[in-house]
Amino acid sequence: MPPSLPVSANAPLNADLHSHSVVSDGTLTPEDMAARAHAAGVQLWALTDHDEVGGVPRARAAADALGLPFVAGVEISVSFAGQTVHVVGLGVDEHDATLGAALARNRGGREPRARAMAAVFDRLGITNTYDGALAHVGNPELISRTHFARHLVERGVCRDMNDAFRKYLGDGKVAHVATPWAGLGEALGWIHGAGGVAVVAHPARYRFSPTVEYALFSEFTAHGGRGVEVVTGSHTAAEVVRYADLAREFGLAASRGSDFHGPGESRVELGALPALASDLTPVWQLLDAARPLS
């Protein structure tokens, strides 16, 4: 069990429940992430690597040593209505065998997809991008578009990460190769089977029509999903308001997380986010780590 939280139930908590390490597409080790979160004043921290819980024991050990309350997390890639949706699982048991096998299966599409992306770059005359991206990878099963973007920037092909996604890697762009991820119901089943709470990540980043967005949240709640990220590093102030309303409409708890990937790459520092509106139910009230508060 993590240490008890240091504040009362009514005080705003500096929770950061979305972040990445080198175990997926971040640039810091789980230990360095724990130290950085602690130094930044984070009071409840989750590591949520993409499709992988391998960094969780290291992150927890480092957080425990610092007295930083920790939540085991994962960000699962899901295919929904022809797009990729990210679902964060919080409070999962990282030793759950079904979750482990399912995440391994979800990761399995990454290597062939990365090779197909490199083949597109070859055709564009930008060669050896697979090996170039691989040089940035901390976990060989977790090669992602982020690693290609870092390689393109390092090579001078793109000005910065955003440029790489805008020109080549973003959804529907020339070097984006779609891969089938888990189904929504499957991913929620794995999270729930591992004792976790499911949260829709950065909802404003999807390009859904209002009807399809409504279908996403309807299906998500029907499958037992409990939360939505209202405050995230990629939401504008207007988007925070919009998804606070959506949380109220669907009766979802609200999450808060930076989606920090590393120094110099992320829009916001760990924990450096606005507070959740006080009438929302913070998702950490649903987690084991928050039980001492209730």
Which positions touch ligand AMP (CB under 6 A)? 25, 50, 77, 144-146, 161-162, 165, 261
Give least dist CB 144 to ligand AMP, A.
Answer: 3
Angstrom distance (rounded) from CA 13 to CA 173: 39
In the complex with Mn ion, the residue whose CB is nearer, 16 or 25, is 25
Q: Are strands 83-90 and 227-232 parallel, antiparallel or unpaired?
A: unpaired
In the complex with ligand AMP, the residue whose CB is nearer, 43 or 206, is 206
Q: What are phi and psi of 39, to 5 degrees?
A: -65, -30
Angstrom distance (rounded) from CA 155 to CA 140: 21
In the complex with ligand AMP, the residue whose CB is nearer, 16 or 25, is 25
Q: Taking CA 267 as the corner, what is the angle to CA 231 and CA 88, rounded to the nearest 5 degrees?
A: 45
Closest by Cα among 18, 11, 178 to 88: 18
Which among ligand AMP, Mn ion, none contacts residue 229 (Cβ within 5 to 8 A by kind)?
Answer: none
In the complex with ligand AMP, the residue whose CB is nearer, 60 or 145, is 145
Give least dist CB 245 to ligand AMP, A.
Answer: 25
Q: Which residues bind Mn ion (CB under 5 A)?
A: 25, 75, 86, 201, 259
Give least dist CB 52 to Mn ion, A.
Answer: 11
In contact, 246 and 227? CB cutoff 8 Å: no
Give least dist CB 77 to ligand AMP, A.
Answer: 6
- 10 Å CB burial of residue 238 (0-12, 13-18, 19+) is exposed
Give least dist CB 205 to ligand AMP, A.
Answer: 8
In the complex with ligand AMP, the residue whose CB is nearer, 5 or 200, is 200
In contact, 72 and 78? CB cutoff 8 Å: no
Closest by Cα among 74, 68, 5 to 33: 68
Which among ligand AMP, Mn ion, none contacts residue 192 (Cβ within 5 to 8 A by kind)?
Answer: none
Give least dist CB 275 to ligand AMP, A.
Answer: 24
Which among ligand AMP, Mn ion, none contacts residue 223 (Cβ within 5 to 8 A by kind)?
Answer: none
Which among Mn ion, ligand AMP, none contacts residue 162 (Cβ within 5 to 8 A by kind)?
Answer: ligand AMP
Quote the tokens at residue 206: 């999807």
Which among Mn ion, ligand AMP, none contacts residue 176 (Cβ within 5 to 8 A by kind)?
Answer: none
**CA 136 from centre of chain:** 19
Angstrom distance (rounded) from CA 32 to CA 280: 31
Buried b (16+ CB within 10 A) or exposed e, 164-198: bbeebbeeeeebbbebebbebebbbbbbbebebbb
Residue facing ligand AMP at closest CB distance: 144
Give least dist CB 73 to ligand AMP, A.
Answer: 14
In the complex with Mn ion, the residue whose CB is nearer, 71 or 201, is 201
Beta bridge partners of 256: 231
Which among Mn ion, ligand AMP, none contacts residue 258 (Cβ within 5 to 8 A by kind)?
Answer: none
